Structure 1
Amino acid sequence: MRALDEMRPKIVELTGAKLELAEKVEDLERALHSRDINISQLESLLNEVRYQKEESENKWQAALTEHEKEHSGAQKASLNLQKAHSDLEEELETALASLRNLELQRTNHHQEIARRLEEFERLTESYNTRSDELHNLKREVEARRRAQEEEQEFLERAQNEIEGLRVELDARDEEIQRLHEVVSSPVSS
């Protein structure tokens, strides 16, 4: 009986620890889900940036090709050569300004991509850390579960022993009662 009283606080402690570990595992799984959502959003943003960069480069190439065609046409038109040359220079300046603007945008896009990649690496590292923590917690929960099972087996063995002792004690009580009856029987006769 005393063994049961001694084991009861341990059982309560193990049950509390098991609940606490289960809460930690749930929190980590929620954090991992949130991390997966963030990674998906970052990948979507990265694809959008790449698409915008490609569109900008295509527009620049199309504008440059168009300007080259206009330049070729202006060379063939000898009567309007001077005017066409002036117009082409102006358009070229506009194209160069657009090109510089596109280069600036491309630089900004590269910086944004680098920042997103750095964030992705940080999230990946965080994910790996959380995964390790989750793995360790699961191992700890499993160890606690095995310990609790061992405690339960010990309690069951102890209860069986107590029951056996109780049966033995009842048998001895009956034997003592029988001996009392045997001893007192000749006196009364």
Structure 2
Amino acid sequence: MRTRGRPHASSREWLADAACELFLEQGYEATSVTEITRRAGVSRSSFFNYFAGKSEILWYVLDRRIDALLSALADPATGLSAALDRFAEGESPETLALAIVEERNMGVAEELAAGKASRQARIAAAIAARLERGGTDPVTAEIRAAGYAAALLSAVWRWAQMGAGRHRLDAVLAEAIRVAHATLS
């Protein structure tokens, strides 16, 4: 349990750790925000300073990577390859990796499937828009974008299943991007 005086910078991580413990103990659906905050030793309002809801705990680190990718894709000075490489930078989504590996024990299969699909669609839409701005016809842009988005998220899932702590996510992503370029170009 959190003690008074700890810096706020770690509250997000404490909440994520507490949530994962509870998801493993009693399942995702059975775990309330109140239980998470009690386990983390923070107030309920503190929870909502960091997360909009319970599912965001699983995704917040990956979402930062997605935001960096979307920002790079929106920048006309950044090439597609450089933008895709931006997704490989930053903190590793360890909480998401744990959820992927412990999907059955945590009871998060539906959340992972829905979250992955929505994020993959968001990435694909941004890549397709970028390709179209560069002169690629819409059908080709959509197909290539879907492939790149699938490669990125498949790499995250593969990294988690390989043992997130034993492998570097950036290396797994680099290989996925290389394969996507070779396949889709």
* Structure number with bigger Rg: 1
Q: TM tier, shorter chain?
A: under 0.3
Q: Which of 1 and 2 has higher RCO (CA within 8 Å, sep 6+)?
A: 1
TM-score by length of 2: 0.24
